[in-house]
Amino acid sequence: MDADLTQEKLAERTGISRTTLQSIEAGRNDPKLSHLLLIATAVGVSIHDLLP
C-alpha cells in the first residue's frame, strides 16, 4: 500500500471526490462497493484488505 498517498492524490487516481474520501475515512459515511473497488485498485490491494 502506498503510505505516502494523500487524499488529494487518491481522489485523482479514483475519481472519488476528496470530500467523499474524507467522509469515508472519518467514518461518517459507509463507502459504496464501487468506491471500495476503485480505492483498492488505486492503492494496489485486495478489496478484502480494506474491510474490517
pLDDT digits (tens, 9 = 90+) for 1-46: 556 889 999 999 999 999 999 999 999 999 999 999 999 999 999 9
- The answer to whether 16 touches 10, Cβ cutoff 8 Å, is yes
Q: Per the structure block, which three cell numbers stand in for 41?
A: 485498485
Q: Choose among 19, 18, 20: nearest CA to 10.
A: 18
The residues spanned by each domain of the chain are 7-50
- What's the pLDDT at 52? 84
The enclosing H or E element of 36 equals: helix 33-43
The whole-model pTM stands at 0.86
Distances (CA, A) of 45 to 2, 15, 17, 19, 28: 10, 17, 20, 22, 23
**Would you state the pLDDT for residue 4?**
82
